[in-house]
Structure 1
Amino acid sequence: MGRNVKRKDRHTSSTKRECTKADLISAQALVALQDEVEQVALQDEVEQVNDYENFEPELQVHHELDMETQTPVKETMDTSTQTEMCAADITVLEAQAASNNKDLAKARQEADQIKFSQESFSKDDKKVEYYTGLPTFTILMVVFNYVQDKLPTRHSLTYFQQLLIILMKLRLAVTHEDLAYRFFVSESTISRVFNTGLDALYGISKLIAWPEREVLWKTMPMQFRQTLGKRVAVIIDCFEVFCDRPTSLDARTQTLLNYKHHNTIKFVLGIAPSGAISFVSAALEDSGTDNTITLSSNFFDHLLPGDVIFADRGFDMKDCAGFYGCEAEILAITSGKAELSALDVEKSREFAHLRIHVKRVIGGVRQKYRILSNTVPLEYMMTNAEIQAPKIDKIARICCALFNLNAAIVSQ
């Protein structure tokens, strides 16, 4: 009897397990079938949408159910209205895109221009020195305040940007095309700004002034006092600027410098013992000696009786200086002599130590304002009834005046 009960319980348990297993298999099959049905329905819906979009415009309809009868109601769309609305929308979107692109380009242009604005230079003296050659923003603003009223009004450029264009042209010797890209204007605008700006900035050449004798005495460096006393008024030298080859044979001969194999023009430069440039002559043809070029300038008009001129060997001007009641200290000439006396050797050594300052000034002007180190075009040397002074004269005097705004190179 007990065995029969146990056998019956095992049979019941086995039957329950088989039923549970069958129910699980049925549920899984039902879920899989439901997923398949949903996937097929979704695919059919996508195909219907695609078929609807591929219909010809005149055949496209949409169906709605009437709320009362629940029957489909066919309503034909006005295809012409739909096409016109789409075209209008596209036109609006294109206009908005064009406006956005224009605003973006303007924003980029303003962002680039701010690099050369007054604000971008105000707190960066290193930037001021690189682009203008001036040591600080304060000194740059002194120059700007002087020249601002003399500059013309231009809608595309501020007064400060016009001054920057002139100074960058002198300082970096960049082309008009380069400046046009930097300031987003045409090359002709850059040319006009430079030409009119030179005339406006030319008044700053007043900084090249021959100092009074009392000022010379008070600013005389100790090394000059120990060697020549207080009577040295000026150190004189010439510096050359390369120019294009003239088409005229006469002009070509007058500007040809044989030992440099290049056509050049010369300037007579006078430097005070303190290191400031006190005299710049007009551009002179480089066909004569340094002495003849100096005599053709108005250099001697600035001297006073008793002044001492300190010059190199090429300036044989003792007789000319004596005519004006002055004295010329010239480095000893070695040509035609077997050797110099001990006194001449010692004197030449002391003079050479002082002469180095004028070379430092000339080198500093060339380094600060590279336009004087480049080959200048012939148009810079042209004069006519309207242009009394050639452009190269203005450039040289402006560069020397701006150089005087830097710290003195001779230790006081």
Structure 2
Amino acid sequence: MFHRFASHAHLMGFWKQIEPAALNIIRVTRAQSVTKTDQVPHSASATVLQPIDEFFLFMNYLSLGLMQKDLAHRFRIHQSTVSRIVNTWANFLYTVLGAVNIWLDEDTVKAHLPEVFQDYADTQVILDCTELRCQTPNSLLLQSEVFSTYKSHCTFKGLIGIAPHGAVTFVSSLYQGATGDKEILKQSGIVALLKPSMAIMVDKGFLVEDCVPCKVHIPTFLSKRAQLSRSEIRKTQSIARLRVHVERVIHRVKEHKIFSTVIPLSITGSINQLFAVACLLVNYQNGPLVKAWASNC
């Protein structure tokens, strides 16, 4: 799929929503993007793409993870022009989609609550962190900051939250891979959105009960016991079955192939925008996580 949208009609429906704003797009200029090693020759092609073609190019870059050199050949433009288009549209979509308030109030979440969540009806958001592998910096200090012991690789790490019915309702900035889940939650800003009447659902490694103002649905720990009780096993299994949906959403985000390979340091200046856009696009590109939930969405 060149753009990750469910159909061409789906793609064009999204385009119609953003087209009016695209008329006032603020472009990244040559002076902002060209480096000493990427000078544009005077003989470079001056081909100008229409806004919809630039949007399609950007979606090819995000969804297929194509090299900028490849895109330049496909669209018959200079590689430096591809770079400027990618940066321009990353900033534009980050601004436009970021202006939409994706955080839902409690009544809206409950109105769309799937039946399988009835035992955890106070769940406002299901949270999980994800990591994106990045190129190893030359600096040993930077290496220590971005190295993830969990992935045994240098990574960027972000927090994603979904409502029980599957919509992405929270996306954090990216942090260095060495940053813990608890610290990311504290710095992300989501704590300020939570109320005592709400609950969050997390994995067993997400020990955040002492830093949120609400209930936490989390699988039971064995601690020093030999085994869990039957009720604890049932609780752990039920939470695991429900929490898996945030992993499915993260999988949809990472279907944008740019995140399936090691991220080069050359695009770290725009990686936050690219990650946020990929997360927010999930709400527009796909159908419901579970077909039976279609009436709830």
Which of the five TM-score ranges fits, normalised by the shorter chain?
Answer: 0.7 to 0.9
CA separation in 2, counterparts of 1:220 and 1:209? 16
Report the equivalent of 1:193: 85
What do the CA deviations read for 1:25-70 (whole angstroms, capped 9, x no partner)? xxxxxxxxxxxxxxxxxxxxxxxxxxxxxxxxxxxxxxxxxxxxxx
Tell me the CA shift for residue 209 of structure 1: 0.7
CA separation in 2, counterparts of 1:189 and 1:380? 15
CA separation in 1, counterparts of 2:99 and 2:9? 19
CA separation in 1, counterparts of 2:209 and 2:109? 22
Q: Would the aligned equivalents of 1:239 and 1:268 in 2 still touch at CA under 8 Å?
A: yes
Tell me the CA shift for residue 169 of structure 1: 0.4
Report the equivalent of 2:66: 174
What do the CA deviations read for 1:9-31 (whole angstroms, capped 9, x no partner)? xxxxxxxxxxxxxxxxxxxxxxx
Amino-acid identity (%): 30
- Matched to 1:353, the amino acid is R
Q: Would the aligned equivalents of 2:57 and 2:71 in 1 still touch at CA under 8 Å?
A: yes
- Matched to 1:250, the amino acid is L
Tell me the CA shift for residue 195 of structure 1: 1.1
Report the equivalent of 2:276: 397
Report the equivalent of 1:381: 268
Q: Would the aligned equivalents of 1:208 and 1:401 in 2 still touch at CA under 8 Å?
A: no
What do the CA deviations read for 1:219-272 (whole angstroms, capped 9, x no partner)? 0000001x212x110000000001111122221101111242210010011111
Q: Structure 1 residue 241 and structure 2 residue 132: aligned?
A: yes
The change in CA–CA distance for 1:248 and 1:336 in structure 2 (over 3 A counts) is farther
- Matched to 1:363, the amino acid is H
CA separation in 1, counterparts of 2:166 and 2:110? 14
Alignment of 1:5-154 (within 5 A): 130-145=1-16, 146-147=18-19, 148-151=22-25
CA separation in 2, counterparts of 1:208 and 1:352? 28
Q: Would the aligned equivalents of 1:236 and 1:310 in 2 still touch at CA under 8 Å?
A: yes
Q: Structure 1 residue 217 and structure 2 residue 110: aligned?
A: yes
Residue segments in structure 2 that go unaligned for 5+ positions in a row = 28-45
Secondary structure at 2:217 match in 1: strand
Q: Structure 1 residue 366 and structure 2 residue 254: aligned?
A: yes
Alignment of 1:261-272 (within 5 A): 261-272=152-163
CA RMSD across the alignment: 1.8
Q: Give the TM-score taking structure 1 as reference length.
A: 0.62
Q: Choose between structure 1 and 2 for higher RCO, CA contacts under 8 A separated by at least 6 residues.
A: 2
Tell me the CA shift for residue 312 of structure 1: 0.5
- Matched to 2:82, the amino acid is I
Q: In the comparison of the two structures, how many residue pairs are matched?
A: 269
The change in CA–CA distance for 1:357 and 1:208 in structure 2 (over 3 A counts) is farther
- Matched to 2:102, the amino acid is A
Tell me the CA shift for residue 149 of structure 1: 1.1
Q: Give the TM-score taking structure 2 as reference length.
A: 0.85
Q: Highest CA radius of gyration, 1 or 2?
A: 1
Q: Structure 1 residue 330 and structure 2 residue 221: aligned?
A: no
Secondary structure at 2:138 match in 1: coil
The change in CA–CA distance for 1:174 and 1:160 in structure 2 (over 3 A counts) is same
